[in-house]
Amino acid sequence: MSRIPAVAVKRRTCTFAVALALGALTLAPLAAQAQAAYPNKPVTIIVPFSAGGTTDILARVVGQSMSRDLGQPVIVDNRAGAGGNIGAQAVARAAPDGYTLVMGTVGTHAINASLYAKMPFDPVKDFVPIARVAAVPNLLVAHPAQPYKNVKELIAYAKANPGKVTVANSGVGTSIHLSAELFKHMAGVDVQNVAYRGSAPALNDLVGGHTAIMFDNMPSAIGFVRAGKLRPLAVTTANRSQALPDVPTVAEAGVPGFEATSWFGLLAPAKTPAPVVARLNASVLKALADPEVKKKLMEQGAEPLGGTPEQFAAFIGAESAKWGKVVKQSGASAQ
C-alpha cells in the first residue's frame, strides 16, 4: 500500500483550512446582507386571543402602519386559548428571524407564569422584547338591565346576593380575569367568574344579557358603551380616562386603593438577531409617533408607549413580580 507523503498531507491540510476560512468570510457577508435586507417577505404578528379583542385591535392598527414602513405585508394571525399561552408558545418555537412576532400582554408575559402550574414556554428566556405598544385601563361595565348603576350599588347588591353576580372574562389568568379577582378581594364580595376564549365572545354574551358585568380592556368595550349597549361603572386605573372622562375610577367609586392596568407589546423569539430587533423597534416607534395611529389608539382609550427593548425587558420583570403577588392573594390557578 502506497503512502501519501507528509508534505502532501500538510499541503492538503493547509488547503482545507484556507477553504474553510474563505467559506467563513463568504458566509459572514451573506448573513449580514440577509439581516440588512430584512424584511424581504411578510411579517406575521400572532395575537394569542380571538379577533375583536383589544390585543387584536392594537395589532391591526400598529401592524398596518408597520407594513408601510417595512415595505412588506404585516399579517395578524389569531391563535386563542389557554389564557394566551397557545399563541405565545407558537412564537417561542418559531424561527428567530424576525418574521414571526407576538403581541404579548400582561397575561402572557407577566401573569401566566404565576398562574399556571406548568408553562409551555419561559416568558423571559424564550423571547426578546421589541417595544411596548400601549397601556389601557380595564373598564367595569354592566348589562343595562342590571339594577346597579354604580360601583357602590354593585357591591351592595353582590353582598345581598352572594354568588349571583356573574362576571365574564376573556380567559383564566388574563388581566380581565384578575381585575375581577382583585375586586372580589378588595370589595369583599362573592361573584361568579365565567371564562371565555377571548374578549369578543365574552362581550357578546354580556351584551346579550347572559352575564351581568365584566372588567374588559377599554378598546374592545368602549364601542358598546358609546352605543348604549353596556353601562360603564368605573375604570380600573388610578386616574380617569380621557376617552371617558365622566366615568369614575374604581378607587374613587367605592374601593380605595384599587388599580389594575393592562399593557401590550411586541416580542420576537429568543436569539432573533439584534439588527432585526432594532429595525422592528424603530418601526414600532415610528407607528406610535404617527398622528393618525395615536389618534386611533387614544380614541379607544389606549395610551401609546414605545421605548427600547431593554426598557421593555425591565418592565416585564417588574410586572411579573407585581402580578405574582396578586395571583397569590387571589388564590387563582389554571391548568
Alpha helices by DSSP H, listed for 103-217, are 106, 112-115, 151-160, 175-187, 199-207
- 252 SS3 class: helix
pTM: 0.77
d(CA 160, CA 163): 10
Mean pLDDT within 198-205: 91
Using 50, 70 and 90 to split pLDDT, how confident is the model at 33? very low
Question: Are the CB atoms for 234 and 248 separated by under 8 Å?
Answer: yes
DSSP state of 241: -
Which range (31-35, 135-139, 274-278) has the least confidence? 31-35
Higher pLDDT: 324 or 78? It is 78
Domain with CATH 3.40.190.150 in the chain: 43-136+261-330
Q: Which fold has domain 43-136+261-330?
A: D-Maltodextrin-Binding Protein; domain 2 (3.40.190)
**pLDDT attached to residue 331:** 73
**pLDDT attached to residue 36:** 60
Pick the CATH number of 137-253 from 3.40.190.10, 3.40.50.150, 3.30.450.20, 1.10.10.10: 3.40.190.10
Please check the confidence at residue 307 and state whether its pLDDT lies above 50.
Answer: yes
d(CA 262, CA 268): 20
**pLDDT attached to residue 299:** 86
Using 50, 70 and 90 to split pLDDT, how confident is the model at 29? very low
Please check the confidence at residue 62 and state whether its pLDDT lies above 80.
Answer: yes
Domain with CATH 3.40.190.10 in the chain: 137-253
